[in-house]
Amino acid sequence: MNKILIIDFGGQYNQLIARRVREQHVYCEVRPHTMTLEEIRRFQPIGIIFTGGPHSVYLPDAPKPDPGVFTLGVPILGICYGCQLLTQELGGTVTPAREDSAREYGKTQTSFDPACPLFHGLPESSVTWMSHGDYVARIPEGFCLTARSAACPTAAMSDESRRFYGVQFHPEVNHTEYGLEILHNFLFGICRAAGDWTMADFKRRVIGELRGRIQDGRVLLALSGGVDSSVLAALLSEAVGHQLNCVFVDHGLLRKNEGDEVESAFSGRKLAFRRVNAQTRFLSRLKGVTEPEEKRHRVGEEFIRVFEDEAKAIGKVDYLAQGTIYPDVIESGLGQSAVIKSHHNVGGLPDHVEFREILEPLRLLFKDEVRQLGRELGLPESLVSRQPFPGVGLAIRVIGEVTEEKLSLLREADAIFRDEMARAGLDRMSSQYFAVLTNLRSVGVMGDGRSYDYAVALRSVQTSDFMTADWSRLPYELLDRVSVRIVNEVHGVNRVLYDVTSKPPATVEYE
């Protein structure tokens, strides 16, 4: 299988680079810059991409790859910081941009040399997305300039003999008009990728790997009823059949009636299904906790402890399986990348678990890839297309301390929002929508009297991969109906807000 290695230097668009590569049916992984030369060799990439990053390459503590990466004879594409890194490591000069010099942020008209293989088929000028305060003052020996802008004479450079390419702009973002074409040229024209990575191939390969790893062992699957764990249930069922035990933990942080719905959906299938009602122990662990990361860690640890108890009740269980996916891994921190939020099944795991191994066969897939795998496994579209729900549940949609009273308010408000979205036929239009109980209380007037109650925030976004998202332009009439119903039917709420923030700078969830 052709593989592209994306070496991470902490840039905000790193996961987007991976998405753009995989969209063209080329497999890739994002790995930290601390990866050793031997690890890179074992990965056997047909091409390497250096990501952007917030650092300055000329500073002593700037992150850098193993210098041996330049001797592998593998094509390299450096993006933004990655371009400056190529320059610095191969003998060129990078300096801070002066106020009146090459500092650029945002959409920038850029001219290209169409003779460069990276820009084959592109017009000689188009818009790119720049985001840099440093610039390449002198390119390394053997390189030539292949793109420029009004403020930056070194918008791109290339060394054809070594197949090294650097671009100062970001081809992975939509704002760069021909960004996909540039990446396509690198993948297929320069790296000679076959473009043959599909979910059908992934399914066959992973099922074989699971059978070889598990052999006659027994597996306990943490089944939430969401897309990821449901797809994993189907995958493991096909791989090891009766050796699989599915445990659904009702932690008391689910949406209205959700526990019963999950049990109904899976108890009739040919799976060993077990529901555990653990509301009391989870709420006890969250008592007094207000910090989001602490919530995630406590829920993550308690999940493991519940599964350990269930494994003892079931009998000898060798493996714990989780529906961890790639955004969980990336957002929980990768190399020097910032921890956006620790997912309970990644950053929230305790140091010690009483299982031989934790199985995460989906951990290198994005959400849309998981859905496609579900279709390959024959799951119904109603399940495959289900909206994601965080493993920590409503704990991160109740801002501040989680209490049963707050959970009850939120469940009712969320149910009203979901009901009205479905009535309007917009439930399939939105990638994800939900209500949040804020920690804000405000003065209101209800029944000629003063109220001092909670404000509920509504959130709806559009996205293909959940790494970036735009807020949904819902009709005012719908928002009006939802607002009227919530303040009238949910006692304890007197204000409804609608969130119009995209990701980034926000995340989809509030905590």
Which amino acids are annotated catalytic? 80, 170, 172
Contact 52, 79 (CB under 8 A): yes
Stretch (H or E) spanning 109:
strand 104-112
CA–CA distance, 149 with 145 (Å, rounded to integer): 11
CA–CA distance, 29 with 250 (Å, rounded to integer): 34
Cα atoms in the Cβ-side hemisphere of radius 13 Å centred on 468: 13
Phi and psi, residue 267, nearest 5°:
-65, -25
Angle at 177 between CA 502 and CA 505, to 5 degrees: 15
Contact 366, 325 (CB under 8 A): yes
Give the rounded distance of the alpha carbon of 231 from its chain centre: 17
Structure-token match 């607002």, residue found: 483
Contact 27, 4 (CB under 8 A): yes
Q: Tell me, what amino acid is at 340?
A: I
- Output the CA torsion 428→429→432→435 (10° steps): -90
Tokens of 449: 């009297």
Pairing mode, strands 93-96 and 134-138: antiparallel
Tokens of 266: 């899976």
Structure-token match 């069922």, residue found: 237
Cis peptide before 504 (omega within 30 of 0): yes
Give the rounded distance of the alpha carbon of 200 from its chain centre: 22
Q: Tell me, what amino acid is at 1?
A: M
Phi and psi, residue 363, nearest 5°:
-70, -10
CB proximity list for 284: less than 8 A, separation 6 or greater: none
User: DSSP string of 291-341?
Assistant: -HHHHHHHHHHHHHHHHHHHHHHH----EEE----HHHHHHT--TTS--S-
3-class secondary-structure state, position 385: coil
- Nearest CA-CA partner of 485 in 397, 411, 413, 408: 413
Give the rounded distance of the alpha carbon of 390 from its chain centre: 12
- Nearest CA-CA partner of 395 in 287, 270, 308: 287
Phi and psi, residue 222, nearest 5°:
-80, 95
